[in-house]
Amino acid sequence: MPIDHYENFPVASLLLPRRLRGAVTDLYRFARAADDIADEGSASDAERLAQLAAFRAELHRIGAEPGTVPAPGAPELASIFVPLAATIARHQLPITPFYDLLSAFEQDISVKRYDDYTALADYCTRSANPVGRLMLHLFGATTPQDVEQSDAICTGLQQVNFWQDVRVDWHKHRVYIPQEDLRRFGVSEEDLAAARLTPAWRELMAFEVERTRALLHFGAPLARRLPGRIGLELRLVVQGGLRVLERIETGGYDVFMNRPELGAKDWAIMLWRSIK
């Protein structure tokens, strides 16, 4: 599966050392393919869960034969799991983060609302943070501080996606804004359906944006500690998330009709902020 989904931050870019670029591509291919099973197309929930179960079976196969590249039980999954198994073996990656990702994607099929921020953050620990932890293993940076700051960056980026995709998620019958926040600011799901840009909506989104920005700023020192091009790549990732938040603010929080997509000017700003 090619990396052809639009992202507001670099994925396996030329900034990464060549020795890591293929591994990152293999990780992303797995996560993107599994996420698409939960999100895309017209399959029934039962069919989606069955497809994710096939992914889980392939992880079992890899975990049962550590250090090897076992042949996939489902031939149609070979393009994903043969290179992934090789990457896991070559870099001695832990298998648990892959299971955590599948757990989050399975949850997307059955859970459409989050009562409070704690529940949403728990989802992020499985939908986003495992990717960062796998990257840390590739980079050889796994101190408790590294992990804590990586988790903050990944949770922050996941929330950036939530806030920019409110309308997209609504059409998938999902609301990631915590229900307690909707009630606190007096925003109803009818407001979401009608794309109402009320003062209450702007206050709600300002609150969510600021909380997410704090996460990205908390994690940002990790990108300054990582060496060379690896650090620069992560700084661009963080700046991508921060830039989207800025675009949401300057757009008057109208993410219903104006989903922010970063252009050449934005990337120039991100690069300047990353190297200064």
pLDDT tens for residues 83-142? 999 999 999 999 999 999 999 999 999 999 999 999 999 999 999 999 999 999 999 999
Q: Is the pLDDT of residue 146 over 60?
A: yes
Q: Which domains does the chain have, with CATH numbers?
A: 13-110 (no CATH), 112-276 (1.10.600.10)
Q: Which amino acid is at 256?
A: F
Q: With CA atoms as reference, report the closest residue to 154 among 262, 232, 228, 238.
A: 238
Residues 6+ apart with CB under 8 A from 273: 235, 239
> Could you tell me what percent of the chain has a pLDDT over 90?
80
Rounded distance between C-alpha atoms, residue 148 and residue 115, angstroms = 25
Q: What is the pLDDT of residue 9?
A: 60
HSE-up (13 A, CA, CB side) for residue 14: 0
Q: What is the pLDDT of residue 247?
A: 96
Confirm if 226 and 20 have CB atoms less than 8 A apart: no
Q: Is the pLDDT of residue 5 over 90?
A: no
Average pLDDT over residues 205-231: 96
CB count within 10 Å of CB 217 equals 14
Report the mean per-residue pLDDT for the chain: 91
HSE-up (13 A, CA, CB side) for residue 244: 29
Q: What is the pLDDT of residue 2?
A: 39
**pTM of the full predicted structure?**
0.91
Average pLDDT over residues 180-191: 98
What DSSP assignment string belongs to the chain? ----S--SS-SS-TTS-HHHHHHHHHHHHHHHHHHHHHHSSS--HHHHHHHHHHHHHHHHHHHHSTTS-PPPSSGGGHHHHHHHHHHHHHHT--SHHHHHHHHHHHHHHH----SSHHHHHHHHHHHTHHHHHHHHHHHT--SHHHHHHHHHHHHHHHHHHHHHTHHHHHHTT---S-HHHHHHHT--HHHHHHT---HHHHHHHHHHHHHHHHHHHHHHHHHHHS-HHHHHHHHHHHHHHHHHHHHHHHTTT-TTT------HHHHHHHHHHHH-
Q: Is the pLDDT of residue 4 over 50?
A: no
Q: What is the distance of C-alpha 128 from the center of its chain?
A: 4
Q: What is the pLDDT of residue 13?
A: 59
Encode pLDDT of 32-90 as tens digits: 999 999 988 889 999 999 999 999 999 998 888 766 666 666 777 889 999 999 999 99
Confirm if 24 and 10 have CB atoms less than 8 A apart: no
Q: Is the pLDDT of residue 179 over 60?
A: yes
Confirm if 163 and 205 have CB atoms less than 8 A apart: yes
Encode pLDDT of 84-94 as tens digits: 999 999 999 99
Rounded distance between C-alpha atoms, residue 12 and residue 178, angstroms = 32
